[in-house]
Amino acid sequence: MHLQGKTALITGASRGIGRAIALEFAHQQCDRIILVARNAALLNEVAATVEALGSRAIVLPLDLTQAIAVNVAVAHAWRNHGPIDLLINCAGISHQVPFLQSRLPHVQSEISTNLVGLYTMTRLVARRMAAYRRGHIVNVSSLMGKVAAPTMATYSATKFAILGFSQALRGELAPHNIQVTTLLPSLTDTDMVRDFHWFRFVQPITPEQVAKALVKGLRSDTAEILVGWQTHLAVLGNRLAPNLLARVVQWTSPSFRSNLVRLKKTF
């Protein structure tokens, strides 16, 4: 898909990867970009940059875990700015914590944003795309959606789930002329991972690299866009030598002894 003249809705657009995708779409002359996240002030800043690059920006401050508000806002956005050609489900949260110290509220918040929030937005937009018989949906998973790692169990679970969800939708929505793609970045330098204990030898990529890889991937009808050499290597390793890869992941994992985890942040 070429972006020129298209309308896109991007969740998680206030920061990090979603913000970089919004700016890259503006560079690609996307006509309208609907920006979704909770922080209206940050969204307004992104909107100003998008408009300076020549695209129209629409700010939609929303908490994706509030299904009724999302329902009303999407109906309104579609009526006033639709049809939406491209939905990028990028909003997400993660808690890095050793499993034995994990707490139910963390898991619940990851599930409500990464899965239920994504489901809510996808259902609302896909039904309208189906009526128009055109559209493209991109769900942001992760390298951790292919290869799970210690301290990331519940986050990995949501990202694995996004892959399954996307695979099912890809077949189911194809007769409606709606494409579904999954984006799988490796560790990316954003707010999300700033306080993480990183895996040894893992080099972060930039949100801009992820955004450029997405634009390139959208030009081909590929089911999965792998971003970063580490994702390519891990996916290949998982296919060819899963036991060896599991050992490597274990070996490179951050070691959590006594109070190494920043519990203040996650509890």
Ligand X SMILES: NC(=O)c1ccc[n+]([C@@H]2O[C@H](COP(=O)([O-])OP(=O)(O)OC[C@H]3O[C@@H](n4cnc5c(N)ncnc54)[C@H](OP(=O)(O)O)[C@@H]3O)[C@@H](O)[C@H]2O)c1
Among 3, 23, 33, 64, binds ligand X (CB under 6 A): 64
Enzyme catalytic residues: 155
The dihedral through the CA atoms of 86, 62, 148, 189 has a sign that is positive
Separation CA 47–CA 207 (nearest Å): 17
Contact 43, 59 (CB under 8 A): yes
Among 21, 37, 74, 218, binds ligand X (CB under 6 A): 37
Separation CA 22–CA 207 (nearest Å): 11
Contact 15, 193 (CB under 8 A): no
3 state DSSP class of 146: coil
CA dihedral 102, 91, 249, 189 (to 10 degrees): -110
Q: Shortest distance, CB of residue 47 to ligand X, whole angstroms?
A: 13
Q: Shortest distance, CB of residue 229 to ligand X, whole angstroms?
A: 14
Q: Shortest distance, CB of residue 91 to ligand X, whole angstroms?
A: 4
Piece in contact with ligand X (CB under 6 A), picked from 2-10, 186-194, 249-257, 258-266 = 186-194
The DSSP 8-state label assigned to residue 101 in this structure reads G
The tokens 């099912």 sit on which residue?
168
Piece in contact with ligand X (CB under 6 A), picked from 6-14, 21-29, 125-133, 174-182 = 6-14
Q: Of 58, 18, 66, nearest to 40 (Cα)?
A: 58
Residue 187 interacting with ligand X (CB under 6 A): yes
Q: Under rule CB under 6 A, which residues in 79-108 are in contact with ligand X?
A: 90-94
Please state whether beta strands 56-61 and 86-89 pair in parallel, antiparallel, or not at all (unpaired).
Answer: unpaired
Nearer to ligand X, 130 or 148 (CB): 148
3 state DSSP class of 183: strand
Separation CA 14–CA 41 (nearest Å): 9
Residue 70 interacting with ligand X (CB under 6 A): no
Nearer to ligand X, 32 or 95 (CB): 95
Nearer to ligand X, 29 or 49 (CB): 49
List 195's β-bridge partners, or say none: none
Residue 15 interacting with ligand X (CB under 6 A): yes
Q: Under rule CB under 6 A, which residues in 105-144 are in contact with ligand X?
A: 113, 117, 140, 142
Amino acid present at 225: I
Among 191, 201, 240, 264, binds ligand X (CB under 6 A): 191
* Size of residue set near ligand X by CB under 6 A: 32
Among 14, 151, 166, 179, binds ligand X (CB under 6 A): 14
- Residues in the site for ligand X, rule: CB under 6 A? 11-18, 37-39, 42, 62-65, 90-94, 113, 117, 140, 142, 185, 187-188, 190-193
